[in-house]
Amino acid sequence: MFEVEPVEKKRSGGRPAAVDKTFRAFDPHQVLLLPPSLNDWLPEGHLARFVADLVDEVLDLSPVLADYTDKRGYPPYDPRLMLRLLIYGCTIGVRSSRAIERKCTDDVAFRFLAADQAPDFRSISRFRRRHLDALATLFTQSLHLATKLGMVKMGRVALDGTKLQANASKHKAMSYGRLVDKEERIEADTAALEAKAQALLADAQATDEAEDQMFGTDGKDTDLPAELDRREKRLAKLQAARAQIEAEAAAKARRRAQDKERRRQERGGTSDEQAVTDAGDKAAAKAHPKPKAQANFTDPDSRIMKNSDGAYIQAYNAQAVVDEKHQVTTAADVTTNPSDALNYTTMLDQSAANTGRHPKQALVDAGYCSEANLNAARDRQLVCDTDTFMATGRLAHDEQVPPAPRGRIPANATLKERMARKLRTRPGKAAYSRRKAIVEPVFGQIMTCQSGRRLLLRSEDGARGEWRLLAACHNLREIFRHAGTAGLATVVG
DNA sequence: TGACGACGCCACTTTATTCT
DNA sequence: AGAATAAAGTGGCGTCGTCA
């Protein structure tokens, strides 16, 4: 498009040329004779073209469009435009609404996608919030697309979790004990303040009236009500945080009591749901939060968790199931519980629901190893024909891998011993050794290329939506890499 | 401390609908 | 028919929170 033509050597302007050198033609003030077509600005096979085709031709946008029912009102931006921007941005690591807005003037690819429009960052942000659920369905859509292109085999999958830093600082977290303390202090102070305000009011009313008449009404004693107002707001926040911790403690106690009652009934061979509910209610009413239980003021749903480096961060626990063949994610979810162990069954079920198939093998690390999960793994083998390889413990740095077992499995071996044994056999080792190679690249890509280390949206729903969008965009990246725009054509055609 | 991002409130614009 | 109103999205502005 741009011809390289040597320019006549010229000593122009006041700047002396250091060397006698011919440069390529460059005229910043050149006026284009025709308005440029945005289409020409982007090379064939660019990721942005892929995203544009995807949004325009392939994706089902009805979940988004369904939200626009009223014909009235200021016309919103075309959802296709917004989706193009959000998807492309999320794929290359430009995720914040303001960053996207800037790119719409800065970046050729974004200008191409937005047809040279630049929505305000609030519009982008609000669109994202509003259609968070719909955006999350992009995840299943991306998965179905990958499946159509033969990229999902469900032979071997790996399940793993990573901690996503919430949009909240752990310094804004407060323990239950301090919360109660603070609340009491503020209440006491407020009572004192109110008394003072009353006294002042009564005392000064006469003089005030006189002064007002003399100087007009802009007294200085507005400070006191303002102070009271601030305290009121703080108190409300504290109480909300406290209520949250208490509700959680109650819910936990309820679950425990119900489980206990069920087990008791199982042993006795009876079944009485009412008794289970009652036991739960009773326990919930009696529940008392631990003084150390934490709540965060900025994002109450997030929790302090330990990340893989051992550092404590305010976070969500993000889970993903990844198919070995092309590193396509088949399930993605977020929980507020730092433990991975609770997600073994739910995640594999999600994966099965999303793909319609059960994997031949599932690889999980020691974080998932629990009595319940070992049992669940055994059942899965029977019901879904999924062979689970679950690490039963981590090796210390200098620890040697125990030798492969030989001979018959002892009849009295526990499930855990059997699992440990299975992982030490040659096929067990071979399968499990693939685990890291399957999930790590996915998490790595999402963290670095898509800047997914830190979440932008608050609340559990926000975190889940973001994680699913990240996972969806990861899948789209893989599709782009594997099939390119041509691949889309085969799906549409 | 300043830059940056999310979000809430309010004013404004646009459009369809309802009222007079 | 024309005015008033309701509804919805956008932008301006301020606030809060995070991070380097």
What confidence tens digit (pLDDT) does each residue in A28-42 have? 666 666 666 778 888
CA dihedral of residues A14, A15, A18, A20 (deg, nearest 10): -70
The listed range with the strongest mean pLDDT (A271-280, A322-331, A404-413, A424-433) is A322-331
C-alpha A469/C-alpha A482 separation (Å) is 20
Nucleotide nearest to A100 (CA to C1'): B5
Round to a whole number and report the distance in Å from the CA of A374 to the C1' of C13: 57
Q: With CA atoms as reference, report the closest residue to A439 among A160, A136, A192, A49.
A: A160
Round to a whole number and report the distance in Å from the CA of A120 to the C1' of C8: 17
CB A79, CB A63: distance < 8 Å: no
CB A156, CB A485: distance < 8 Å: no
The listed range with the strongest mean pLDDT (A115-124, A315-324, A395-404) is A315-324
> According to the model, what pLDDT value does residue A332 have?
95
DSSP code for A77: P
Higher pLDDT, A331 or A230: A331
Q: Give the protein-side footprint of strand C (Cβ within 7 Å).
A: A 68-70, 72-77, 119-120, 122-123, 126-127, 165, 167-169, 171-172, 297-298, 454
All residues at 6 or more sequence positions from A50 whose CB lies less than 8 Å from its CB, including other chains: A476, A480, A484, A485, A488
> According to the model, what pLDDT value does residue A10 have?
39
Q: Is the CB of A129 under 7 A from strand B?
A: yes
Lowest mean pLDDT among A143-147, A180-184, A316-320: A180-184
A372-380 contact pairs (CB < 8 A, 24+): A372/A341, A373/A341, A373/A344, A373/A345, A374/A415, A374/A416, A374/A419, A375/A415, A376/A344, A376/A345, A377/A344, A377/A419, A378/A415, A380/A348
Residue A351 has pLDDT above 80, yes or no: yes
> According to the model, what pLDDT value does residue A379 have?
96
Cβ atoms within 10 Å, residue A170: 18
- Which bases of chain C are contacted by protein, using any atom under 7 A from a CB? 6-13, 17-19
Nucleotide nearest to A462 (CA to C1'): B6
> According to the model, what pLDDT value does residue A397 have?
63
Which of A435-459 are b and which e, b meaning 16 or more Cβ less than 10 Å from the residue's Cβ?
A: beebbeebbebbbeebbbeebbbbb
Q: Quote the percentage of chain A above a pLDDT of 70.
A: 78
Nucleotide nearest to A96 (CA to C1'): B5
> According to the model, what pLDDT value does residue A12 have?
41
Residue A427 has pLDDT above 50, yes or no: yes
Mean residue pLDDT across chain A: 80
| A61-84 pLDDT tens trace | 888 887 777 777 777 888 888 889
> According to the model, what pLDDT value does residue A342 have?
94
> According to the model, what pLDDT value does residue A461 have?
82
Q: With CA atoms as reference, report the closest residue to A27 among A44, A61, A46, A3.
A: A3
Higher pLDDT, A263 or A320: A320
Round to a whole number and report the distance in Å from the CA of A339 to the C1' of C16: 31
Round to a whole number and report the distance in Å from the CA of A477 to the C1' of C12: 37
pTM higher than the cut 0.85: no
C-alpha A153/C-alpha A174 separation (Å) is 46
Residue found under tokens 């626009």: A68
Residue A215 has pLDDT above 50, yes or no: no
Residue A16 has pLDDT above 70, yes or no: no
> According to the model, what pLDDT value does residue A214 have?
38
